[in-house]
Amino acid sequence: MSYVFEPLQQASLAVRGTTDRFPVRRIFCVGRNYEAHAREMGNDPSREPPFFFTKPADAVVDTPCTLAYPTLTDDLHHEIELVIAIGKGGANVAEADVMDHVWGASVGIDMTRRDLQADAKKTGRPWDMAKGFDQSAPIAPLMPLRDVPSVEKGRIWLAVNGTLRQEGDLADLIWSVREHVATLSRAVTLAPGDLIMTGTPAGVAAVVPGDVMTGGVDGIGELEVTIGNRA
Query: Could you report the per-residue pLDDT of 125-141, keeping only the tens digit for each?
Result: 999 999 999 999 999 99
Q: Where is pLDDT greater, at 52 or 39?
A: 52
pLDDT mean over 61-86: 98
Percentage of the chain beyond pLDDT 90 is: 90
Q: Are strands 137-139 and 60-62 parallel, antiparallel or unpaired?
A: parallel
Query: Could you report the per-residue pLDDT of 96-125, keeping only the tens digit for each?
Result: 999 999 999 999 999 999 999 999 999 999
Q: How many CA atoms lie within 13 A of 121 on its CB side?
A: 11
pLDDT mean over 14-41: 87
Query: Could you report the per-residue pLDDT of 188-229, keeping only the tens digit for each?
Result: 999 999 999 999 999 999 999 999 999 999 999 999 999 999
Does the pLDDT at position 37 exceed 80?
no
Does the pLDDT at position 43 exceed 80?
no
Size (the chain), residues: 231
Q: Are strands 112-113 and 76-77 parallel, antiparallel or unpaired?
A: antiparallel
| Domains in the chain with CATH codes | 12-230 (3.90.850.10)
* pLDDT on residue 231: 79
CA distance 163 to 24: 32
CA distance 37 to 15: 30
* pLDDT on residue 149: 96
The reported pTM is: 0.95
Q: How many CA atoms lie within 13 A of 167 on its CB side?
A: 5
CA distance 18 to 180: 29
Does the pLDDT at position 41 exceed 80?
no
Mean model confidence pLDDT for the chain: 94
